Structure 1
Amino acid sequence: MQRVKQSSGSAVVSSARPATLLRGRNQSGAIVQANVWGWLPALSLIGAIGVVLVALAHVGARYGTPWSQTLFWTGLTVMYAPLSARLVMPDLKRQEAIGLVLLLGLGVYLAKLLHSPQGFTFFDEFLHWRTANDILKSGHLFSENSLLPVSPLYPGLEIAANALGQLTGMSIFQAGATIVCVARLMLTLTLYLFYEEISGSTRIAAVASAIYMANPHYLFFDGQFAYESLALPLATLVLFFLLRRRRATGQQRHILTVLAGISIWAVVATHHATSYMLTLFLILWMVVTWAYNKWFGAREPELLSIMLLVIAANVVWLICVSSITIGYLAPHLTSAVSSVLNLISGEGSDRELFKSSTGTPVPIFEKLAGLGAPGLIMLLLPWGLLQFWLGYRKGAIAFTFALGALTYPVTLALRLTGGGWEISARSSVFVYIPLALVLALGIEHARLPNFLGWLSAWLDRFKRWLWLKPLVFAPYVAIVFAGGVIAGWSPWARMPWPYMVGADTRSVEPQGLAAAEWARDYLGPDNRIAADRINMTLLGTYGEQRLITHLIDKVSISGIFLAPRLGPNELAALRDGRIRYLAVDQRTTKAPPLDGHYYESWEKMVVPYTPPVDRTVLDKFAVMPGVDRLFDSGDLQFYDVGALWREP
């Protein structure tokens, strides 16, 4: 057995065989044994209790019980806080630390999976399910997906899900959930190993891994069946390979280079934004490494060859496969830049915090945690940066991470703008990678100020300092975690509450599913259909229909549904989109959409109206000559409108 010395925290222990006991000598020279798994068994039970509480909360939410939300937050706290508190204790062993962070990552993923354990219900999941189903049916890549045109151009996740499904007989949902679960564990482990490699400390690596899980998209967004959920773990795998490659020699260095290259291509083929962020980070790392070698006499391995590979991979993929990606991402970026410039110029923020499009009130607890979490992070960030400067500034990768952590305040500013809040939330999964390490450095080296030296001496004398840090860290990280969940997902979408209009996952219910399956069975697949945002996703997946969207068809469908009568513009939209069928949901006449729009985000500019929709507007199809009603469930109707635009 070999012991590797670290800068702080417990020792890293490696062995040729799995071990459950760590042998050593105490101060008197006697041989002692310590269980390297430490508190892991007991904390596994506590974590399981937290998962059960979340499951019960989701069950209660389906029936609209008022106690469900409290139970949901209780379950997350029970799952997260005790395990995180253990990570700052001085007797933490490496095996226990790895087990705890993996347990924590798995528990958080199960909290998301229990939201909808029988099928996909999140909006983005439907979009990627359509791509996976097209690959399964056709046996070919890059099929058209009108719901999300760029999805088929980055098919890494769907290829993995289909491969697993065909090998095991799993459905796309089962295979997808398994792939995302494995990806979550891979992300957790690679981040831990990456942090450990930089800091040389088991405890710092474990604390940083736990803090990373508090980013706004960790619980839900990166736990869903979507391309970033796989691409992000692959990107961290690239970073880990490159970090280990720095001190490798000979054949091992070549192997790590090949593994990093394969992983880079896997990232590029899986998700555009992740591959671009990986490229930016590697460029920054390369520049910092060059500066360290030139100005400070360091001997860090150059990253030029890797940098050229990742740039070439992105350029080749963009030109040969996914040229539409620029047009897809550009509006989001320009909107964010415009909103930020307006904020800087003094025109004020165009987004009000904690306010939904329907004015749904937000509990005071969520407001406090949502504002408190960034405040606590900003409070600790300067201290963490100071600890970096005192102990880690000689490493190029550590300096790169410190620069990355400084982007966090910028993302906070983006939250204040209507065009930038989504960029802020989505960038958090990348910004938190360096931020978590810097915060962990601050926590590891936290101490009382000099004027409280007497208290520090008293705590050390009675060994109570060992317990004070966990007692302080547990509520700190729990608030940061809760703030991340609050910032990353709308309160009405975190749990499977009863049906509401225009509410993404809460609008997925049996009647809509049955209507989509009817369309598949009786109309056949791939008919050109227009529908509201929710039924569009159901018809495009369960119904296997070809939905008309502005993304790919350049046709706006809002006026067809919202105009009091079909005029020249609406008939032109039917003709240009070659729309055969309309799916009309009468529930849009009963309540405004929680997500802000029924059909398209710009629909009120096409037909000014005050939600909900007037029922007479939707009933116009029932009395229109040449229009046939094919299906009517009371809430949902299907109309054949082909005769309105086809030449006689």
Structure 2
Amino acid sequence: MSNSTLLAEESAPTPDGPPGSPPARPDHRAPRFGSPLAWAVLWLTATAGAVLIAVAFSMAATDSADTAHYAVFWAGMLLFFCPAAVVLTARQVAPRVRIGWLLGYGLFSYVPKLLRNPGQPLFHDEIAHWRQATDLAANGQLFAQNHLIGIVARFPGLHIVTASISDATGLTVWQSALVVMVVAHVLALFGAFLLGEALFGSLRAGALVALVYSLNSSFIYFDTEYAYESLAMPFFLWCLACLAKAHRAKERPERLRWTVGAVLAGCGAVPTHHLTTVLMTALLALLTVVAMVAALRGTAPREKAVTIGTVALLVGGAGVLWLVLAAPATFAYLSPYMGGGAKQLLHMFSGGKGTRSLFKASTEPFYERYTAFTVPLLSFALAAWALWRRRRQPGGLFGGDPLMLGLSLFGLLYFPSLPFIMVEFGAEGARRTWGFTWIGLGVLLTPVLVLALDRLGELRGRRWRAGALVAVLVAGDALMGNVAAGLDEDYRFPGTPVFGSDTRSVTAEAVGTAAWFKAHLGAKLHVVSDRYTGLVLVREADAEPAQPAKGFPTYDLYFNSTPPTPFLVRELDSSNYTYLVIDKRTATQLPEIGVYFEPDEPFAFGGTSPIGVQNLDRYNYLPWTTKVYESDAYAIYRFDFKAIHATVPGEAR
């Protein structure tokens, strides 16, 4: 489908038509959605949907073993999503109506995460970023060490924005964080909308691109948590949107203004998030290559290739400089997810072990699992149709607008990422890329989706009702399936405490232990603990837990029954680690997410038995640990480094 067929004079009460064609006769049966009743539907469905989601969360909190809360949750989500999808993709809709419903959809799609933890940070990354922003607001020091995710300190964009809002408004850091996240979420959706509008010249097509993008597995939960990717995504999308506007600009001043906007938006992502910077730089490089090839073939003006190349050079250059000068540890941080996933995938194909069982021990109902498996198939079928239609157009498969072609190629990367879901190290990395590649899928699929919707609009009677039902079911299937494939139930719903869960390990006893720690021992103390206890200590006691790694294996204090190595003792002593906090359940229970500390630990993902009671009970009688606190599940010990040096082989002095 050519761009001209997507151009719309949407302010007029007539159906879309190609430019220069005579005005079509008004179709009085076509929906306009601009009446007071239609606006009332927006607010009523949004309110009722939010109430149902809140009811689902209440049900999950009291009886998480039952799956009824899933049905109530999806009833609430689809109650607003279905009419929103109809209005956003309808042909004859006034611009203000379409934009109003898009704004409503952006706000409503943040409701699940807002209701999940409105009062304080809960997710692992949220606590790390909240602590970083809180410390920045308190002392104004950039790049301060983060004791949960070390790399966070090197990307302060989110924390600067949050601390600035808190300082300017008097809101708490967490309240400011929620403001930032809601605004960023809505801006990301409108960035996708503006990109589609610029590429296809139609608000309807822009809404379709935004709608497809919003179906990615990160949009509802992952990219709504208080973390750096959530703020970097609108920068990424607005960089592309401004670039598309510059690409379409006919006058040089207009092109220059949009080019500057693209550079500023792209550079905004650089000090905010590492993966966004890497993928954005790679995408801009791809777009530059495609545009240069088109210019050399004479199918695109040279100035358009120059515009894309300029943005790629400036934004990519800023990204490289930041990664090299300010955040050189980035690639070491990302490599386990990239290289580790590739190695495990090759090992799997060669007949080795290390594969994951999808939805293993999952409590998700059958319909969520079904939709999660159908989304890739549905996406592949639509992508194949879109590519087939491109092949039939003048210029062939690789002809046409270079920006649309480059984004479409980027979107196709979604499919080779799917096998990585089958291996532990590759699964998280693959899911993280979907939030980016689905914007490319949106660009690729929009022409065929417009064609399908237009053909649906030509039907009448039962055929129209059947076609409309199929369209709504397909959209709902994509939304449900991608959410199900994104995060586990523990992240999505409240429920009974679960050991070894980032979100459900917080118990009243854990909070009480952390409160005692801060009141009797103090804040800003270096401690050794497991991953989940450390989260509570950071949030409630302002403690600074160790970050275990192969070069600093504090997990040996748990896993090994032998005394710590002289190297570990020296590291603990020189870094002023004074307390060991033990969750006694680590001796008898396996962690829900497969790790006690971090993905590089010896136990990670493959362990079949807990640490062992004897490994932890020994601290009750060893001469270099003194118990200072104990509850049913927790014990706190003070290190005595003089006794350690006297009893650890090779450490006498």
Does TM, normalized by the shorter one, top 0.5? yes
- Over the matched positions of the two proteins, sequence identity in percent amounts to 25
| Structure 2 residue 452 is matched with structure 1 residue 446 | yes
- For 1:191 and 1:536, how far apart are their aligned partners in 2? 38
- For 2:563 and 2:605, how far apart are their aligned partners in 1? 12
Q: Is the 8 A contact 1:82 1:474 kept in 2?
A: no
Change (3 A) 1:435 1:461: closer
Change (3 A) 1:106 1:249: same
Instruction: Name the residue aligned to 1:18.
Output: none
Deviations 1:129-154 (A, max 9, x none): 12112212221101111311111111
Q: 2:431 aligns with which of 418, 425, 428?
A: 425
Secondary structure of 1:507's partner?
Answer: coil
Change (3 A) 1:290 1:319: same
What one-letter code is carried by the residue in structure 2 that aligns with 1:179?
A: V
Instruction: Name the residue aligned to 1:105.
Output: 106
Q: Is the 8 A contact 1:205 1:437 kept in 2?
A: no
Instruction: Name the residue aligned to 2:19.
Output: none
Q: 2:414 aligns with which of 403, 408, 413?
A: 408
Deviation at 1:334, TM superposition (A): 1.0
| Contiguous gaps of at least 5 residues in structure 2 | 13-21, 647-652
Deviation at 1:354, TM superposition (A): 1.5
Instruction: Name the residue aligned to 1:482.
Output: 480
Deviations 1:305-335 (A, max 9, x none): 2222122201221222111112111222111
- For 1:195 and 1:344, how far apart are their aligned partners in 2? 39
The equivalences for 1:8-27 within 5 A come to 8=6, 10-13=8-11, 27=25
Secondary structure of 1:504's partner?
Answer: coil
- For 1:9 and 1:96, how far apart are their aligned partners in 2? 18
What one-letter code is carried by the residue in structure 2 that aligns with 1:541?
A: R
Secondary structure of 1:580's partner?
Answer: strand
Deviation at 1:165, TM superposition (A): 0.7
Instruction: Name the residue aligned to 2:315.
Output: 310
- For 1:548 and 1:101, how far apart are their aligned partners in 2? 44
- For 1:607 and 1:489, how far apart are their aligned partners in 2? 17
Change (3 A) 1:381 1:250: closer
What one-letter code is carried by the residue in structure 1 that aligns with 2:208?
A: V
Q: Is the 8 A contact 1:9 1:90 kept in 2?
A: no
Change (3 A) 1:441 1:349: farther
Change (3 A) 1:96 1:549: same
- For 2:188 and 2:393, how far apart are their aligned partners in 1? 27
Q: Is the 8 A contact 1:501 1:593 kept in 2?
A: yes
| Structure 2 residue 319 is matched with structure 1 residue 321 | no
Instruction: Name the residue aligned to 2:597.
Output: 599
Instruction: Name the residue aligned to 1:629.
Output: 627
Secondary structure of 2:109's partner?
Answer: helix
- For 1:98 and 1:391, how far apart are their aligned partners in 2? 31
The equivalences for 1:156-171 within 5 A come to 156-171=157-172
Instruction: Name the residue aligned to 1:21.
Output: none
Deviations 1:474-504 (A, max 9, x none): 1101111111111110133310111110111
Q: Is the 8 A contact 2:165 2:171 kept in 1?
A: yes
| Structure 2 residue 214 is matched with structure 1 residue 209 | no
Deviations 1:318-366 (A, max 9, x none): 22211111211122211122123334545577222221xxx45553223
Instruction: Name the residue aligned to 2:52.
Output: 53
Query: More relative contact order in 1 or in 2 (CA 8 Å, sep 6+)?
Result: 1
- For 2:199 and 2:481, how far apart are their aligned partners in 1? 27
Instruction: Name the residue aligned to 1:290.
Output: 292
The equivalences for 1:251-290 within 5 A come to 251-290=253-292
Q: Is the 8 A contact 2:32 2:94 kept in 1?
A: no
Deviation at 1:215, TM superposition (A): 0.8
- For 2:241 and 2:452, how far apart are their aligned partners in 1? 27
Change (3 A) 1:26 1:375: closer
Q: 1:337 aligns with which of 330, 333, 342?
A: 342
Of the structure 1 ranges 218-227 and 239-248, higher mean CA displacement relative to structure 2 is found in 239-248
What one-letter code is carried by the residue in structure 2 that aligns with 1:283?
A: A
Instruction: Name the residue aligned to 2:516.
Output: 518
Q: What is the alpha-carbon root mean square deviation over aligned residues?
A: 3.1
- For 2:427 and 2:375, how far apart are their aligned partners in 1? 16
Deviation at 1:639, TM superposition (A): 0.9
Q: Is the 8 A contact 1:528 1:545 kept in 2?
A: yes
Q: Is the 8 A contact 1:61 1:68 kept in 2?
A: yes
Secondary structure of 2:577's partner?
Answer: coil
What one-letter code is carried by the residue in structure 2 that aligns with 1:207?
A: L
Q: Is the 8 A contact 1:11 1:202 kept in 2?
A: no
Instruction: Name the residue aligned to 1:556.
Output: 553
Change (3 A) 1:366 1:165: same
| Structure 2 residue 175 is matched with structure 1 residue 178 | no
What one-letter code is carried by the residue in structure 2 that aligns with 1:125?
A: E
Q: Is the 8 A contact 1:212 1:432 kept in 2?
A: yes
Change (3 A) 1:477 1:462: closer
Instruction: Name the residue aligned to 1:394.
Output: 400
Q: Is the 8 A contact 2:594 2:604 kept in 1?
A: no
- For 2:90 and 2:390, how far apart are their aligned partners in 1? 21
Deviation at 1:93, TM superposition (A): 3.0
Change (3 A) 1:89 1:162: same
Change (3 A) 1:612 1:297: closer
Instruction: Name the residue aligned to 2:61.
Output: 62
| Structure 2 residue 544 is matched with structure 1 residue 546 | yes
Normalization by structure 1: what TM-score?
0.88
Change (3 A) 1:600 1:573: farther
Q: Is the 8 A contact 1:557 1:599 kept in 2?
A: no
Deviation at 1:53, TM superposition (A): 0.7
Q: Tell me the number of residue pairs that the alignment of Structure 1 and Structure 2 aligns.
A: 622
Change (3 A) 1:642 1:607: farther
